[in-house]
Amino acid sequence: MRDFLPLFAVGLGVPLTFALLDRAARRAGPLEASPTSGRIGPGRAAIVLLSVCTVAFCIGGFVGTVYGLVSGDYLLAGTSVFILSLGLGSFWGTLMMMSPGAHIVWDADGVRGPAKAWSLSRVPEQAIIPWTAIVHLEEQDNGTCYVQTANGTRVYWSRYYAGYDVFEGALLARRPELRA
């Protein structure tokens, strides 16, 4: 049973983290907002929560790996390496979210934001889409949303961004035919 404790902790920790992120995003407003423009991105609560979880995964994974190798419990060491990799991946994701390039900015002309859902670059590639060029709006199962033009240019954002509902409201007010 002790060998499965790290996996049990991850099995509880990851969904709990996403539930708390969802709650924080729903309670937070946009980073900037006016009647015609605004900016959304990860809120402070999301950054703090991700940072705490990242540190917990890294420390837990490192300690579990060292303990497993020293005690000869290689199953524990292997699962702990997995937990450590989750922590390091979360660290990179948190760094990317803290970049201003990860924010969605909209005004009377259109929408500007990340052109890819995931990138290994610290500063995501930006795309600018005029309101009239948007032909498709989609939400994926993981909470990532995007708008797309006829030529395939996309702007991505997350349902875990503070104020995402304000942006989506502004988007659907300008383009009501995108409503599903």
% of the chain residues with pLDDT over 70:
89
| Range scoring the smallest mean pLDDT among 70-74, 98-102, 138-142 | 98-102
Phi, psi at 127, each rounded to 5°: -130, 145
Residues with Cβ within 8 Å of 87's Cβ and at least 6 positions away in sequence, in order, are: 54, 55, 56, 57, 58, 59, 60, 61
Phi, psi at 73, each rounded to 5°: -90, 90
Asked if 77 and 69 touch (Cβ cutoff 8 Å), the reply is: yes
**Whole-number Å distance between alpha carbons of 46 and 24:** 6
The first and second tokens of residue 148, run together, are: 């797309």
* 3-state secondary structure at position 43: coil
Predicted confidence (pLDDT) at residue 23 exceeds the cutoff of 80? no
Residue 97: what residue type?
M
Closest CA to 98 of 60, 54, 128: 54
- Predicted TM-score (pTM) of this structure: 0.71
Say which DSSP state 162 is in: B
Confidence (pLDDT) at 64:
82
% of the chain residues with pLDDT over 90:
22
- Reported as a pLDDT band with limits 50, 70 and 90, residue 143 is confident
- Mean pLDDT for the stretch of residues 84-111: 82
The first and second tokens of residue 60, run together, are: 């837990």
Predicted confidence (pLDDT) at residue 90 exceeds the cutoff of 90? no
Question: How many CB atoms neighbour CB 124 within 10 A?
Answer: 22
Mean pLDDT of the chain: 81
